[in-house]
Structure 1
Amino acid sequence: MIDRRFFLAASTAALVGACTPRTGIAPTPARNPDLFSDIQERAFRFFWDTTDAATGLAPDRWPTPSFASIAAIGFALTAYGVGEKHGWITRQQHAERTLTTLQFLADAPQGDGATGFSGYKGFFYHFLGVTKGQRFARCELSTIDTALLLGGVLFAQSWFDRADPNEVRIRALAEQLYRAVEWDWIMPRPPFVSMGWHPESGFIRSDWNIYNEGMILYVLALASPTHPLPPATWGALTQQFDKSWGNRWGEPHLQFAPMFGHQYSHVWIDFRGIRDPYIASKGIDYFENSRRATYAQRAYANENPGGKVAYGNDCWGLTACDGPGDFTVTIDGKPREFYSYSARGPGERDDGTLAPTAALGSIAFAPEIVEPMVKTMHARYGAGIYDKYGFLDSFNPTLTRTDEPLKHGKLVPGVGWVDGDYLGIDQGPIVLMIENRRSGMIWEVMRRNPHIRRGLERAGFKGGWLA
């Protein structure tokens, strides 16, 4: 995913008056005595409460006034299924909200102009204004965020399998949105897909050509009934993977520092027991790879090369998230650099900012280390970091005082810096991967989707549930 830090910094002024907070937000739900049930329900209610019921546009963040995020919409469309399963909403409510969302997206204007459009050639802009649902500021037409949106769209297509007219319409709209995406257009440097496009400058000069969250993008692109990529594309992609293979902080695995790169594709695709030729040659599957990456995060925290406060077995988790701001503070005689929104990870950018989604989004991979860590983190810091919709996006126990202006959040005694927002793309993996850990529901629904199966088979996956 493109680091949103630079876009967000450049567009702060444009936010003023452009995005308004939702009104009529529901009251805080009663606390469930089971911590993980409580976390999951609160994360679900983030999407149900803050999404605009008239359009289906889910905010990038809340409560700070925000534009809509198309990736957050994809997570929301999937989270609604979790809500129905647990009785938090009815099937009728679920269908009505989903139908509203898909109809709005299907009707949204597409074109190559810089303003007045929501997307182009079936792709959508990364961020949309909350009133008209059109391109926000100068953000990019995003290939990965469109793919994450489609994860939710195809979940809805498979979930709503009845003859009810609304459900029939949902399935048709989902198919329409998926077929509209022209994957073969956005390949200026074959065989790889560009990260995006701007009407002002054309294709972004970076491609999805390493191991990261982009696996779902290629599965969807390979499966397209209208604009498919050649089957050899996946093999070309995995030829690049050895650049990422290593054994730092644990067992050998494909390394990608921010944890989201090991999580997003797995929200929708069940990689357990299925293998392409590349990962088969390593003797594992991609699910096991993400398990090893989760353990590597904990091992890095135990090593704690930067001497960050609280790091260890019961406090870890680095990914892309909010941070306090872009400044340097002297702590215990040493200058410490801090960042605002940024991708963070072991061995790369690490300012001591921890994101609960980094661990909770991995709960299906390694529950034996995630669950006790989350319980301890909640017991130790919950009074300062756990609120209406669960864990706030991030916190930093290393930063306890500063005279520098904070970009996000505030300093909380006994905790350190704490963000003031929830982010849709971080809430999504929490509610959905808790469900995959407990019931495998999202994976089961997506295994029924013919596009997912076709994409995996064209990529050369075999075994497991594909057999």
Structure 2
Amino acid sequence: MKNNFCCTVAFMLLVLTVSAQKKRAVTEKTAIAPVGIIKGLSDSALLDVVQRQTFRYFWHYAHPVSGLARERDNTVKAEYYWDYINEAYDEPNLSKGTFGPEACAIGGTGMGIMATVVAVNRGWIGRDTALKRLTKIADFLIKADCYHGIYPHFMNGSTGKTIPFDRVDNGADIVETSYLMMGLLTAKAYFNGNSLRERYFQKRVQQMWDAANWNWHSNGSDKFLYWHWSPSNGFDMNFPVYGYDEALITYIVAASSPNHAISKDLYENSWVKSGGWKNGKTYYGNVLPLGNFDKGGPLFFEQYTYMGIDPNNLADDQGIDYAVQTKNHTLINRAYCIENPKHYKGYGANCWGLTAGDSYKGYVAHCPEVDLGVIQPTAALSSFPYTPEYSMQALKHFYYDHGDKIWGPYGFADGFSESHNWYAKTHLAIDEGPIVVMIENYRSGLIWKLFMNNPDIQKGLKKLGFKSKWIKE
């Protein structure tokens, strides 16, 4: 009798367990299922939908072992098409290759961490649940490959081993690491409580922040800050971080380091005095203060740094107003698309935005100088802080008019070209993250507030000659 009773209980527990597993599987499947186009949304509700759907890339598609952000959600061959860099900098082709499902993006992970902070603040996920994920990421990174505290561009999400980007680019990437640190420091500021779990996470982030040796990438002088260092090739790639481009954050973070900060002389010699830093020309009635590219180059130049750095009321000792830089570059990019000198189908006031992303030719750094007729939704959507009216106009066009082709489980697909009847099926971490973060900065200024209030970052900005409303004198 006792045995029969035990068997019955065991059977019932088995049934309940299987039932729970099935229910959980259905729930998880439903959670990542594409949300169809919802008509008649208010502007605020539409922003909610887009941010939340895009965030799912980092939450549901994160690497299951490490929690890092996967580089992209397709594993087919990806050609990295950087001819604009070759032409501008006279450098060899940086990368052409294939990266599989284990490839995680270090910079994209930093962006995903900031997106996770947004998700908690918006109530999409619980605070404790998010902290567990972020702690998982931090614990993994502590043990993963890094070089003098600097992480590689791509990392195997299961093993923590470097995935070479190129034959000589198989080690540290100081720019990608700066995006990672921007995310980690933002999360550290948000999860600032005294609970054991929060204090543990804070300590983990501080360990990585303390260890990152930015000054190592000066190669022992104040002449150049180098993008890459390889354990087998040293500084043979010989690619200084100079601009103006997406890497301003690298100098700010590097100058802010508590233990391994770069000098202001290095910043000025390698960045401010570089041939491509200043512009000063007028395009479509808008002065572009900075940048070597005609009409400003890809729009991610104005998005990656400014996920954490608030450009409003930000000025440097060279007289540059970064609110003007970020807004005018965006306006110029839009005006170029409206002019549409190559007569591509679909371009116009509600369909604009040239930046790096997938195209029918592979991954291309689209800009007025390299215009293939491909629009990247992230370009206009990540410009909300600068051009809210025009970005909303573009968002409604993408969502309501093209949603049947480019809207899916992780928000908008990476790009599309009406002229070539081509619509991407892919999503990239470095294009998804800025959408969530920059829309949030437009709506609440959350990420700006967390990052700009960091005492180390304020010291670094002051050291480099910046003035900002956030800096405490």
Distance of 2:192 and 2:468 partners within structure 1: 26
1:195 correspondence with 2:227: yes
> Is it true that 1:156 corresponds to 2:196 in the alignment?
no
Match of residue 349 from structure 2: 313
The aligned counterpart of 2:297 is 257
Does 2:445 correspond to 1:440?
yes
Report SS of the residue matched to 1:244.
strand
Q: What is the distance in 2 between the residues matched to 1:70 and 1:223? A: 20
Quick one: distance in 2 between partners of 1:318 and 1:390?
Answer: 18
SS for the counterpart of 2:365 is: coil
Partner of 2:281 in structure 1? 246
1:73 touches 1:149 (CA, 8 Å); kept in 2?
Answer: yes
How far is 1:380 from its partner?
1.9
Work out which of the residue numbers 188, 193, 203 in structure 2 matches 1:172: 203
Separation in structure 2 between the aligned mates of residue 138 and residue 290 of structure 1, nearest angstrom:
29
Secondary structure of 1:124's match? coil
Which amino acid in 2 is paired with 1:306? Answer: K
Shift of 1:29: 6.1
Partner of 1:380: 401
In 2: Cα distance, 1:355 partner to 1:196 partner? 28
Matches within 5 A, 1:67-216: 67-108=103-144, 118-139=145-166, 140=169, 141-188=172-219, 190-203=222-235, 204-216=237-249
Q: CA separation in 1, counterparts of 2:324 and 2:415? A: 26
> Are residue 344 (structure 1) and residue 366 (structure 2) matched?
yes
Cα offsets for 1:74-99 (capped at 9, x unmatched): 01111111111111111101111111
Residue type of the partner of 2:46? Answer: L
Q: Do the aligned partners of 1:260 and 1:320 also contact (CA within 8 Å) in 2?
A: yes
Deviation at 1:53, TM superposition (A): 4.5
Moved more, 359-368 or 136-145: 136-145
Letter in structure 2 aligned against 1:37: D
Q: How does 1:295-334 map to 2 (within 5 A)?
A: 295-325=331-361
User: Identical aligned pairs, as a percentage?
Assistant: 32
Whole-angstrom distance in 2 between the partners of 1:268 and 1:60? 21
Partner of 2:72: 61
What amino acid is the match of 1:190?
Answer: D
For residues 350-389 of structure 1, the aligned pairs below 5 Å read 350-389=371-410
**Which whole-Å deviations, capped at 9, do the CAs of 1:296-349 have from their partners, x for residues lacking one?**
011101221222111111111111101112xxxxxxxxxxxxxx1111101x11
Gap change, CA 1:394 and 1:463, over 3 Å in 2: closer
1:36 aligns with 2:44: no
Shift in Å, 1:287: 2.4
> 1:128 is paired with a residue of what secondary structure?
strand
Q: Partner of 1:232 in structure 2?
A: 265
More displaced, 205-214 or 229-238?
A: 229-238
Distance 2:298 2:406 in 1: 21
1:371 is paired with a residue of what secondary structure?
A: helix
Instruction: Flag the 1:138–1:43 CA change in 2: closer, same or farther, 3 A.
Output: closer
Supply the distance in 2 between the matched residues of 1:232 and 1:366 (Cα, whole angstroms): 34
Does the alignment pair 1:46 with 2:79?
A: no
Task: Tell me the CA shift for residue 215 of structure 1.
Answer: 1.0
The 8 Å contact of residues 259 and 358 in structure 1, kept in 2 or not, is answered as: yes
CA shift for structure 1 position 277:
1.1
**Does the Cα contact within 8 Å between 2:354 and 2:375 map onto a contact in 1?**
yes
Contact 1:250 1:299 in 2 (8 A): no
Q: Flag structure 1 segments of 5+ consecutive residues without an equivalent.
A: 1-23, 109-117, 326-339, 400-415
CA distance in 1, matches of 2:165, 2:130: 33
Aligned CA RMSD, in angstroms, stands at 1.8
Whether the 8 Å CA contact 2:311–2:326 is kept in 1: the answer is no
Equivalence for 1:219 = 252
Structure 2 distance, partners of 1:101, 1:388, is 23
Matches within 5 A, 1:16-35: 26-28=31-33, 30=35, 33=41, 34-35=45-46
Using the alignment, how far apart are the partners of 2:163 and 2:273 within structure 1?
36
CA distance in 2: counterparts of 1:385 and 1:53, whole angstroms: 26
Does the CA-based 8 Å contact 1:323-1:419 persist in structure 2? yes
Q: Mark the structure with the bigger radius of gyration.
A: 2
Secondary structure of 1:465's partner? coil
Q: Which residue of 1 aligns with 2:329?
A: 293
| TM-score normalised according to structure 1 size | 0.82
Name the amino acid aligned to 1:175: Q
In 2: Cα distance, 1:246 partner to 1:71 partner: 31
Q: Which residue of 2 is the match for residue 334 of structure 1?
A: none
Deviation at 1:30, TM superposition (A): 4.8
Amino acid at match of 1:244: N
Matching of residue 268 in structure 1 with residue 308 in structure 2: yes
Q: Whole-Å Cα distance in 1 between the matches of residues 282 and 453 of structure 2?
A: 35
- Describe the shift of the 1:138–1:303 C-alpha distance in structure 2 as closer, same or farther (beyond 3 A): closer
Q: Which amino acid aligns with 1:212?
A: D
Deviation at 1:196, TM superposition (A): 0.8
Q: Bigger shift: 154-163 or 46-55?
A: 46-55
Supply the distance in 2 between the matched residues of 1:269 and 1:233 (Cα, whole angstroms): 20
Inter-CA distance 86–365: structure 2 relative to 1 (3 Å threshold): same
C-alpha separation between the residues in 2 aligned to 1:291 and 1:137?
36
- Counterpart residue type for residue 48 of structure 2: S
List runs of 5+ in structure 2 lacking aligned partners. 1-27, 76-99
Structure 2 Cα separation of the partners of residues 288 and 168 of structure 1: 39
Task: Output the CA distance in 2 between the equivalents of 1:294 and 1:133.
Answer: 37
